[in-house]
Chains A and B, each alone.
Chain A
Amino acid sequence: MSAVKMQSAEIRFKVNGAERRVNVPPMKRLLDVLREDLGLTGAKEGCSEGECGSCSVLLDGVLVNSCLVPALQVNGCEVLTVEGLATNGALAHIQQTFLELGGTQCGICTPGMMLAAESLLRKNPQPELDEIREGLAGNLCRCTGYMRIINAVRHSSQAPATAAVPAPEDAVHR
């Protein structure tokens, strides 16, 4: 078997609004390009098989698992990572609600969760409780039991406060 030539391709794409250019093997995973070539370590590797969602980013506005996207297919596209949610140092609303309402504990699922929430709320600004659950179904969390994440998404949406999730002030019943 002859040796395979080491592959490299020039990829030009926008990341969080900025033009970026990398030279990487065309099959390098977008997750690894973000983390290794661009130093954007917000996207995490949780499972390597598109199941846990901790690598989620928005690709041309659409939620994807970056561990399953080859670099070549990102050429000419726009990527939004968690690092791109805040603007001029001000946290995005979803980040603020996660912070205040206990939506994050260890933080591993959090970047993917917030991007999944962002993707959901862009399509459905007033999701019902079961729609929030479905929107987050591809993002696994071991720490929170999802309750306060769902709560944070609810508070970030324009939905009326009728969902059956306890508000943080009700956390302690004495």
Chain B
Amino acid sequence: MRTYSTQVVNFYAVQEVGRVVNPLLAAGQIEGGVAQGVGYALYEKVVWKNGRMSNSQMTNYIMPTAVDVPNIEVYFEESPCEHGPYGAKGLGELPHDGPAPAILNAIQDATGINFTSIPLLPEDMYLRMVETPETVALETAGCGERPK
């Protein structure tokens, strides 16, 4: 591992939304939320200094570009909700919930380390894996189900 960077290459979102009313917009909303979740997980650190955000420019608040966002596939489950129009439920905020936990779980699967804070930057991963390896040893010792 050279740069401690993470790259999401594929993302599969299964979303239960009651009833899909407009497939194009519904899928588009999920894809956008996933992209935002990828940023939340890996890139979008807010740097605070004396109570002010010191990285409030697009050059230093890092959101994903078209080269950073993975291939995203969207699948809908529909269990119509009796309270919604045609059985539909809201899906606006929904896609933002899953990506960061999923990505960190994938990182745990790859490294054996249970990172619990986002965004998980390469600097954070480096710190954990290189500067405090005793923490890493404790983590991996605790992962009883990890295949050898």
Residue ranges of A at the interface with B (Cβ–Cβ < 8 Å): 46-47, 49, 51-52, 101-102, 105, 132-134, 136-150, 164-166, 168, 171-174
Contacts and interface: CB of A to CB of B under 8 A. Distances in A.
B124 to A, nearest CB: 24
Q: Which 3 A-B pairs have the closest CB atoms?
A: A145-B35, A145-B31, A171-B27
B25 to A, nearest CB: 7
B24 A168 contact: yes
Majority secondary structure, B binding face? mixed
B63 A102 contact: no
B72 interface: yes
A56 B34 CA distance: 26
B102 to A, nearest CB: 15
B28 A174 contact: no
Interface in B1-47: 20, 23-29, 31-36
Nearest to B27: A171
* Most interface-central of B28, B67, B73, B78 (chain A CB within 10 A): B28
A52 B64 CA distance: 11
B63 A143 contact: no
A170 to B, nearest CB: 9
Contacts of A174: 76, 78
B43 to A, nearest CB: 12
Contacts of B86: none
B69 A145 contact: yes
Nearest to A129: B71
Contacts of A52: 58
A52 B76 CA distance: 31
Given A139-B66, A147-B31, A172-B27, 19 more contacts: A46-B58, A51-B59, A105-B28, A138-B65, A140-B63, A141-B32, A142-B32, A145-B28, A145-B32, A145-B34, A146-B31, A146-B66, A147-B28, A148-B27, A150-B66, A164-B71, A165-B71, A172-B76, A173-B75
A139 B63 CA distance: 11
Contacts of A101: 24
B50 interface: no
B57 interface: yes
A140 B69 CA distance: 11
Contact of A102 (B24, B34, B69, B78): B24
Contacts of B33: 145
Given A137-B67, A146-B66, A51 B58 contact: yes
B74 interface: yes
A166 B28 CA distance: 11
28 contacts: A49-B57, A49-B58, A51-B59, A101-B24, A102-B24, A102-B27, A134-B67, A136-B66, A137-B67, A139-B66, A140-B58, A140-B63, A142-B32, A142-B35, A144-B28, A144-B32, A145-B69, A146-B31, A146-B35, A146-B66, A148-B24, A164-B71, A166-B73, A171-B23, A171-B26, A172-B23, A172-B27, A172-B76
